[in-house]
Amino acid sequence: MAPELLLIVLAALPFAGSVVAALLPANARNAEAWLAGAVAVAGVVVAIILYPALADGAVLHFKVAWMPIKGADFNLRLDGFAWLFSLLITGIGALVVLYARYYLSAADPMPRFFSFLLAFMGSMLGLVLSGNLIQLVFFWELTSLFSFLLIGYWHHNAAARDGARLSLTVTALGGLALLGGVVLLGRITGSYDLDVVLAAGETIRAHPWYLPVLGLVLLGAFTKSAQFPFHFWLPQAMAAPTPVSAYLHSATMVKAGVFLLARLWPVLAGTDAWFWLVGGTGLVTLLFAGWCAIFQQDLKGLLAYSTISNLGLITLLLGLNSPLAAVAAVFHIINHATFKASLFMAAGIIDHEAGTRDIRRLSGLYRLMPYTATLAMVACAAMAGVPLLNGFISKEMFFTEAILATTPLPLLGELLPYAATLAGMFAVAYSLRFIHGAFFGPPPLDLPHMPQEPPRWMRFPVELLVLVCLLVGILPTLTLGSMLQTAVRAILGADTPIYSLSVWHGFNLAVLMSAMALVGGVVMYRLLHGYLAHSPDGPPVLRRIAGQRVFERILVTLSWRWARTLRGLLGTHRLQPQLRALVVVAVLVAALPLLRHWRAAWPGFAGWPDPVLAGVWLIGAACAIGAAWQAKYHRLAALILMGGAGLATCLTFVWFSAPDLALTQLLVEIVTTVLMLLGLRWLPKRFERIDETTTLPARLRRAADFALAAGAGIGVAMLAYLTMTRPAPQSIARYFLEHALPQGGGHNVVNVILVDFRGFDTLGEISVLAVVAITVYALLRRFRPAQESIGAPEQQRVQNAWEHAHPDRQDGDSVAEQLLVPGVLMRWIFPPMLTIAVYLFMRGHDLPGGGFVAGLVVAIALIVQYMAAGTRRVEAQLRVHPLRWMAIGLLLALLTGVGAWLAGYPFLTSHLFMPQVPGLGRLPLASALFFDLGVFALVVGATTLILIALAHQSLRSQRPARTGNPATEA
């Protein structure tokens, strides 16, 4: 298989496995483990196959353009460094899967665990294989997300939930900062491609944005790698199942941060700012976390702090601005991953077997599980930096670098070796504490259950990792030399220094420091031993300042206290102040530039209007103002007046060459009026004399609203006048006018735009109409009117009473008699209206008309029948199925669009054909006609559905709403 294809397999396989794992049954523990293990081992195999392709610094690429304009491509890129990480992720992943098979109990839901684990593995691989920075951030956030899900795997446990949430909050916030940094990087270099960015180191370091970029990228890296002061999430994340901790906090999640630092090392490193920020943070973290680790009483807590400390060490090495230190950092990344993963697993075994991880309770386990104890001791020795183990070599390299480091401040250079030795002492002390606390001393007394050796295959991953620690410690060049060289060259390129990996470099200062660290660490542990046997968790003094408590307090203050204060100051539950603020802002924003440029913009007087239209608008404006005045107490009058304003609008459309608009406006006006009339019945009665508010604040408020309304009206009028008196800009109108006939086959350009050129918009619009109609229908199905509106309206009551008084009459006779002549006419008008609808529809492509208008006419024709004969009588004769009309309409419109696909054109392309019709000759027929037919059917369905649903409310026996006004009930 071609290397590029293997690259896709490597990146995609875990995600595919994750989907499969999620679908397996809940108790398929072995099947899940086999699947996940197979995926991880396949990853290892693919990685090994790909290794020869990376010889001599070659880089493998697989690129698919996704959004080329924005520079966002799907880009897989494998170089030596990414390869090293891929091997760690898949290799340790495979061991963790095996371990988890025995660690998890049969009661734990398996699909969730293995599915998340595989997805996490995929995200990590995607992260290290990213050749595009945006893609890198995407996978970065995915790792945050899946680690959240993994840490919170035992979600019945409050500590797991809190730990998961904390880690997500911190790392995802860092990811956001990283995204900012990456976008800036892309702005500086003009590309998000990693190769381009890596080649632009000089430009970036000299750019004025260097510091912001550095700050943002470091925020991302430090939060991920749990560097001080963002370290506090990692100990909390120890509530995760131990396999998760072993995976996330040794080889993967937390290593993503240092991976990024090393990845961008050639671009961002080499400045004083880098030294202070990266080196300083690393040093502080190294010492602080090392000190904290000694005082942990939980085995996993100790490992968590030692992980933070080791990450600090790697960060410090990367911060020293020296290629040799970078080599040491990469080397330590591997070593730490191996010994820490094995130690987490050993801690898990102890927890699993003994039922507790508390060092104060554990003791003398060596007698009960000698084999596991030996393995853990070797791994701890590697962590402490005992010779002949891999930790020793990387620590030697660190000590050498600490001595050689050139720092911007000479004094610091002097102090660095001492700090390094101190950190070494801490490491020895906490390693000793792990071993001595758990395995030595008197036999344990109060353990939840008696420990014994774990199953064979649960121990196997630990054995393998410890074997690696030993082999690398004894034969570093033979085992890791080539891989390290490839990885380091991928970062440093031509600057790769010459270094030698060997156990013994002769007797030099670094060896002396090592010896001092070992002795000092032992002494330190002896001194603290008595105190630690009974002390509470955490180092003295510092245990009171828990980082996560500070963080939580800040979060509470920000997102709760301040938010509430702000809401109290600025917010309101009331609609009117909100709308008022909205209008005020809108008016101001529009008015300020208008007033400033008023003199230049004023076009002069544009001539007197036509007196007829002026008369129309005299009435129209009076209607609008009258509606505004009457809407509170005289709803019917307001409705009629609103219709007047609508008619004036409609006439304006006629006057100024918009016949289609006029037709639509007129018909919609009718439908809206009917709709509102149907609704009026359910509104409360309101009498002018009762609730007249005449208090001073009410008057003032009304005066202010009046001024605001007047201001808005005058402002928009000015705006409209200024725009209209200006010559029209060159618009796209010309295109439509020129192409409507030859391409759309229609004379009526508006209709051609709607059903042909912009058919997709119309499709969206009729979908909205359908959604609204169904929503209205759904809302009305459960409609509960207010108590006072349930009884028949007063007019009906009076009429019914009169009818009851006369034995020969029935309810509703009076109405039927009154409407006798109009009723007959209305029934007779049904066929002509349908004919008009057909006529309007057919001519729509060439003359004013079309699907919308025709649909409205049919809907009105139906409503007229309802009004003439009453709902029951109409529905006895004629069943309208609005939902079917809508379905047919939507389907027809969609199928017309799909038809274009079949002919090989884009969706909704109209086709013009000229069929021969007997008796009529050749007819020009556009396929858009069928689309328009769909529009027609949908408009008929939606309109009638809304109106009939509302009308039916008067026939139903209504129940009052259960919940009244809480304010009045209280």
For residue 929, the tally of other CB atoms under 10 A from its CB is 19
Enter the DSSP assignment of 387: T
Q: Which of 252, 300, 332 is nearest to 87 (CA)?
A: 252
623 and 644 in contact (C-beta within 8 Å)?
yes
CA distance 289 to 234: 11
Could you tell me the smallest distance in angstroms from the CB atom of residue 754 to another protein? 6
Could you tell me the smallest distance in angstroms from the CB atom of residue 731 to another protein? 6
Could you tell me the smallest distance in angstroms from the CB atom of residue 694 to another protein? 13
Residues recorded for the chain: 970
Alpha helices in 533-634 (DSSP H): 547-556, 563-570, 575-596, 598-601, 611-630
**Nearer to another protein (CB atom), residue 256 or residue 663:** 663
For residue 315, the tally of other CB atoms under 10 A from its CB is 29
Could you tell me the smallest distance in angstroms from the CB atom of residue 569 to another protein? 19
The two three-digit tokens of residue 371, written as one number:
């084999």
The two three-digit tokens of residue 594, written as one number:
């208008």
CA distance 703 to 696: 10
Q: Which of 811, 938, 940 is nearest to 863 (CA)?
A: 940
**Nearer to another protein (CB atom), residue 105 or residue 730:** 730
**Nearer to another protein (CB atom), residue 143 or residue 664:** 664
CA distance 520 to 595: 79
Could you tell me the smallest distance in angstroms from the CB atom of residue 956 to another protein? 13
**Nearer to another protein (CB atom), residue 700 or residue 717:** 717
CA distance 187 to 889: 48
Strands 925-926 and 912-913: antiparallel
Residue identified by tokens 């031993």 is: 529
**Nearer to another protein (CB atom), residue 250 or residue 748:** 748
Could you tell me the smallest distance in angstroms from the CB atom of residue 356 to another protein? 56
Could you tell me the smallest distance in angstroms from the CB atom of residue 158 to another protein? 37
Could you tell me the smallest distance in angstroms from the CB atom of residue 861 to another protein? 17
469 and 296 in contact (C-beta within 8 Å)?
no
Strand partners, 62: 76
**Nearer to another protein (CB atom), residue 580 or residue 911:** 580
Could you tell me the smallest distance in angstroms from the CB atom of residue 554 to another protein? 35
Cis? peptide before 229, omega within 30° of 0: yes
**Nearer to another protein (CB atom), residue 702 or residue 797:** 702
**Nearer to another protein (CB atom), residue 916 or residue 963:** 963
Which residues lie closer than 8 Å to 275 by C-beta, 6 or more apart? Answer: 319, 320, 321, 407, 408
**Nearer to another protein (CB atom), residue 369 or residue 740:** 740
294 and 528 in contact (C-beta within 8 Å)?
yes
**Nearer to another protein (CB atom), residue 730 or residue 795:** 730
CA distance 254 to 251: 7
Which residues lie closer than 8 Å to 377 by C-beta, 6 or more apart? Answer: 435, 439
**Nearer to another protein (CB atom), residue 443 or residue 603:** 603
CA distance 131 to 72: 10
871 and 952 in contact (C-beta within 8 Å)?
yes
Could you tell me the smallest distance in angstroms from the CB atom of residue 693 to another protein? 9
Residue identified by tokens 């008699």 is: 817
Strand partners, 917: 921
Could you tell me the smallest distance in angstroms from the CB atom of residue 838 to another protein? 20
Q: Which long-range contacts (CB under 8 A, 24 or more apart) does 553-556 make?
A: 555/169
Could you tell me the smallest distance in angstroms from the CB atom of residue 723 to another protein? 6
| Burial label, 363 (beta-carbon count in 10 A; 0-12, 13-18, 19+) | buried
| Burial label, 698 (beta-carbon count in 10 A; 0-12, 13-18, 19+) | exposed
**Nearer to another protein (CB atom), residue 450 or residue 710:** 710
209 and 184 in contact (C-beta within 8 Å)?
yes
**Residue 557, SS3?**
helix
**Nearer to another protein (CB atom), residue 456 or residue 573:** 573
Could you tell me the smallest distance in angstroms from the CB atom of residue 692 to another protein? 13
Q: How far is the first Cα of the chain from the last one, in angstroms, to the nearest whole number?
A: 76
Could you tell me the smallest distance in angstroms from the CB atom of residue 856 to another protein? 8
Could you tell me the smallest distance in angstroms from the CB atom of residue 82 to another protein? 52
**Nearer to another protein (CB atom), residue 66 or residue 721:** 721
The two three-digit tokens of residue 910, written as one number:
């109209």
**Nearer to another protein (CB atom), residue 351 or residue 756:** 756
443 and 363 in contact (C-beta within 8 Å)?
yes
